[in-house]
């Protein structure tokens, strides 16, 4: 049961803020999607929330503790991030990669304990990675590597799960599996926050949205209330509308003569 | 599988030590034990330094000799030898020079700790060439009390102007320190940010890794001069046998590096007889083709 408090946060690289100060509180059990066009700062925001980039201004707290004052290991038990890329120069097996998620939970001089092994097994099973468990990570496809990264955060099992464009490189079946997984995590009273490019997926699965507009403005709230055509046009600079009442899909209007 | 490998490595070490002690290769009996010890500790230290540098620079081809770190340590140690300093001071000077070499590599080739590709290798090779120029200067300009012995040491030789016994505590402490860091190193190789997210205090671990690799290189160079490719071959081959996890890789690399260097030194003396072939020449003859093969394999993967 971990909550995330963002207080007058300005994020950016090299001291240049990308946004107007952002204040919001995200609670356990919520599934947030962060939407915005390329370059608007979704990754920068995710990295800032995970304490990898110093905020330009403001602060981020997890359970009331400023993340910049929290020792890394303690933070990693509460908050995890799936990044877009990871570096795979050495031939670790899939199981060894996923076991890395247990690092914050055990003393460094000890091997995996029984509970660690169980967590790793469950994570492998959840992403259907058991058949690949002994394979070397650098021999997997891009989509398989993403599933390994997601399994790693499941093994890490933090209260706040951040994912930076997790569906990238996944086929439709695995996209849907992943999103259902995120729902399940939220159902376990974790707080899940994903950056997405797919408005349809966001509408279908997320219960909260954070919209990052190109001019640095932002809006946060309940999905059903925020997904209006005018907001989407502001967000992406092109007109989008729902393909039908209650339909999850979005398209450019007028192409089929309506 | 793993246990079997460690058992084999231990037996191999004992067997080679027995051969060094027992075979008459023109070495007086009183010097044989310290010769074996020099081979074992230098080989182990170089292999361990290789493992650490590969994590630090995130490049499986990193190694103290190829990257010019041994070269820097050699310059400092040579100056120390010429001035007649004690082995502790020589090691200290070599340590400082190793630190400086790695620092230059970071500043020029791998800023911000991101993954370093071939650029770091290129920088290291140029750095090594620079250091060997400085060595030439020292040899020509410096005092020349025992030049032939120094020349052998410069090619990488275990006939030690410096006693190898001092390197044992360095080896033991480094093994302990590296082993404690092992599970963090497993995360660090995937990138600083990835490691930080999983709970590693990245700066502290990188610093420890950097200091330890430099110390190991310096201590190895002090005893035996610059010996190449042990730090490259041993970790590379072992990753195929025990996997990439450092808990196993670190002790295995130490044992295998020690066995390899003792064995190569013994082979050199058996083959060359009275001609006294420095072991650094043998590792170069074996290591250069192996390095080129690995470079090609690595190039194919990116």
Beta-carbon separation of A76 and B58 below 8 A: no
Residue B223 has pLDDT above 80, yes or no: yes
What's the pLDDT band for A120 if we cut at 50, 70, 90? very high
**Alpha helices per DSSP H over A94-219:** 94-99, 114-126, 142-156, 172-187, 199-205
pLDDT computed for residue A240 by the predictor = 80
Q: What is the mean pLDDT of residues A114-129?
A: 92
Local structure of residue A45 (DSSP, 8 states): H
Beta-carbon contacts of B222 under 8 Å, excluding residues fewer than 6 positions away, are: B73, B77, B87, B90, B91, B94, B162, B167
Q: How do beta strands A57-62 and A31-35 pair?
A: unpaired
Min mean pLDDT across A10-19, B27-36, B93-102, B138-147 is at B138-147
Give A211-249 pLDDT, tens digit per residue: 999 999 999 999 989 988 888 889 988 888 777 666 666
What's the pLDDT band for B19 if we cut at 50, 70, 90? very high
Give A49-76 pLDDT, tens digit per residue: 999 999 999 999 999 899 999 999 999 9
Q: How do beta strands A31-35 and A241-242 pair?
A: unpaired
CB A67 within 8 A of CB A39: no
Closest alpha carbon within chain B to A67: B197
Using a CB-CB cut-off of 8 Å, the residues of chain A touching B187 are: 100, 103
Q: How do beta strands A65-66 and A22-26 pair?
A: unpaired
Q: What is the mean pLDDT of residues B194-202?
A: 93
Closest alpha carbon within chain B to A107: B183
Using a CB-CB cut-off of 8 Å, the residues of chain A touching B235 are: none
Closest alpha carbon within chain B to A52: B193
pLDDT computed for residue B243 by the predictor = 85
What integer best gives the mean pLDDT of chain B?
88
- Model's pTM, two decimal places? 0.89
CB A49 within 8 A of CB A131: no
Considering only residues B182 and B110, tell me which one the structure prediction assigns the higher pLDDT. B182
What's the pLDDT band for A257 if we cut at 50, 70, 90? very low
CB pairs under 8 A between A and B: 86
Helix (H, G, I), strand (E, B) or coil at A231: helix
Beta-carbon separation of B187 and A103 below 8 A: yes
């Amino acid at each position: 049961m971990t909550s995330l408090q963002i207080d007058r946060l300005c994020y950016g690289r090299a001291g240049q803020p990308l946004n107007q100060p952002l204040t919001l509180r995200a609670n356990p059990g919520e599934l947030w999607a962060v939407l915005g066009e390329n370059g608007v700062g979704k990754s920068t925001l995710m990295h800032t929330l995970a304490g990898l980039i110093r905020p330009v201004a403001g602060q981020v707290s997890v359970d009331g503790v400023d993340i910049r004052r929290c020792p890394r290991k303690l933070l990693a038990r509460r908050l995890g991030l799936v990044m877009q890329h990871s570096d795979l120069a050495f031939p670790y097996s899939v199981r060894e990669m996923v076991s890395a998620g247990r690092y914050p939970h055990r003393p460094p001089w000890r091997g995996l304990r029984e509970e660690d092994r169980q967590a790793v097994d469950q994570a492998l099973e959840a992403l259907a990675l058991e058949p690949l468990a002994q394979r070397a990570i650098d021999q997997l496809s891009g989509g398989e590597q993403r599933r390994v990264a997601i399994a790693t955060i499941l093994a890490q099992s933090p209260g706040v799960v951040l994912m930076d464009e997790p569906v990238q490189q996944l086929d439709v079946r695995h996209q849907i599996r992943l999103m259902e997984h995120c729902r399940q995590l939220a159902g376990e009273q974790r707080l899940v926050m994903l950056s997405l490019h797919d408005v349809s997926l966001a509408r279908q699965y997320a219960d909260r949205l954070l919209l990052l507009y190109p001019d640095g403005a932002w809006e946060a709230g309940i999905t059903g209330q925020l997904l209006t055509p005018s907001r989407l046009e502001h967000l992406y600079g092109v007109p989008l509308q729902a393909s039908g009442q209650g339909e999850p899909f979005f398209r450019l209007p007028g192409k089929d003569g309506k | 599988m793993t246990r079997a490998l460690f058992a084999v490595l231990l037996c191999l070490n004992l067997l080679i030590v027995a051969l060094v002690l027992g075979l008459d290769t023109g070495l007086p009996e009183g010097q044989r034990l310290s010769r074996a010890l020099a081979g074992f500790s230098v080989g182990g230290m170089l292999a361990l330094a290789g493992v650490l540098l590969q994590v630090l620079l995130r490049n499986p081809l990193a190694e103290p000799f190829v990257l010019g770190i041994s070269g820097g340590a050699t310059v400092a140690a040579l100056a120390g030898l010429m001035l007649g300093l004690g082995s502790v001071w020589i090691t200290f000077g070599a340590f400082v020079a190793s630190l400086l070499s790695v620092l230059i590599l970071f500043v020029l080739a791998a800023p911000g700790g991101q993954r370093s590709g071939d650029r770091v290798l290129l920088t290291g090779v140029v750095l090594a060439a620079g250091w060997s120029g400085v060595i030439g200067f020292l040899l020509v300009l410096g005092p020349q009390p025992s030049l032939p012995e120094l020349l052998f040491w410069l090619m990488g030789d275990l006939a030690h102007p410096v006693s190898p016994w001092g390197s044992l505590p360095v080896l033991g402490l480094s093994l302990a320190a590296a082993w404690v860091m092992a599970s963090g190193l497993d995360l660090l190789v995937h990138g600083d940010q990835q490691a930080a997210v999983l709970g590693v205090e990245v700066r502290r671990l990188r610093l420890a890794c950097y200091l330890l690799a430099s110390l190991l290189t310096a201590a190895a160079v002090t005893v035996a001069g610059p010996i190449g490719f042990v730090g490259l071959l041993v970790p590379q081959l072992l990753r195929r046998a025990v996997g990439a996890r450092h808990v196993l890789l670190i002790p295995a690399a130490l044992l295998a590096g020690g066995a390899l260097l003792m064995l190569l030194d013994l082979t050199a003396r058996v083959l060359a007889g009275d001609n006294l072939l420095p072991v650094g020449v043998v590792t170069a003859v074996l290591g250069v083709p192996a390095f080129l093969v690995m470079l090609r394999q690595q190039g194919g993967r990116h």
